[in-house]
Amino acid sequence: MRTRHLLIFAAILGTPVLSLAADGPPALKKGEKIVFLGDSITAGGVAPKGYVTLIKTGLSEKHKELGIEVIGAGISGNKVPNLQSRLEKDVLAKKPTLVVIYIGINDVWHGENDPTKGTPKDKFETGLKEIIGKIKDNGARVVLCTPTVIGEKKAGANKLDGKLDEYAEVSRKVAKDTGSQLCDLRKAFVDHIAKNNADDKDKGILTTDRVHLNEAGNKLVADTIRATIDK
């Protein structure tokens, strides 16, 4: 019924249905304050060629009149429980209007040899939901990113690919369950590597060391997140 009404409305207006039905982010507004919450990848993102800096520069050039503020809140080694413990101090106290959460690598990676050092999937899910709930209760919206890579070999050949895919799927579920925007960085990386890693290298395509971003990786993350928050 809703689709039928949409078609009728579009016909009356002479407007293409796709433009009416397309999902997109809310328009960025004057005084937006965006906090990027994450681990060492986000900590490095505030460097001159880091993804946070690239997003900040791009938004300021496109939306100079809006005075958008961009804040990096990444700490090396962080997992979801660490974000839970510092959310008030490093995020909520800054009164953001939008929070971009990019987490999950360490939750998987740290548990590679000792599961007690990683984050169990159930705690990863409940922790993300708690973080997002508190952010939304404080009036901000959320973009949740899936974790990217631990190794750049193609076709699931990296040791932790299977587990990363599981955690990425948890993030997708959490985004849906909480009504948050999803930024599927995992998919963006896997697709890019499949097309650009002809020699099946372990690193060097998007990362310096299998995990942390090189210049191309920072650009891909920046472009993907910007496409999510500012179509």
Query: What residue segments make up the domains of the chain, in order of their start?
Result: 29-229
Rounded mean pLDDT of the chain? 91
- pLDDT score of 25: 76
Q: Residue 73: CB partners within 8 Å, gap ≥ 6? A: 35, 36, 37, 38, 42, 90, 91, 94
Rg (CA), the chain: 19
Mean per-residue pLDDT, 188-211: 98
CA distance 216 to 220: 6
Mean per-residue pLDDT, 198-204: 97
- pLDDT score of 26: 83
Identify whether the C-beta of residue 228 lies closer than 8 Å to the C-beta of residue 181: yes
| Topology at the third CATH level for domain 29-229 | Rossmann fold (3.40.50)
pLDDT at 8 over 50: no
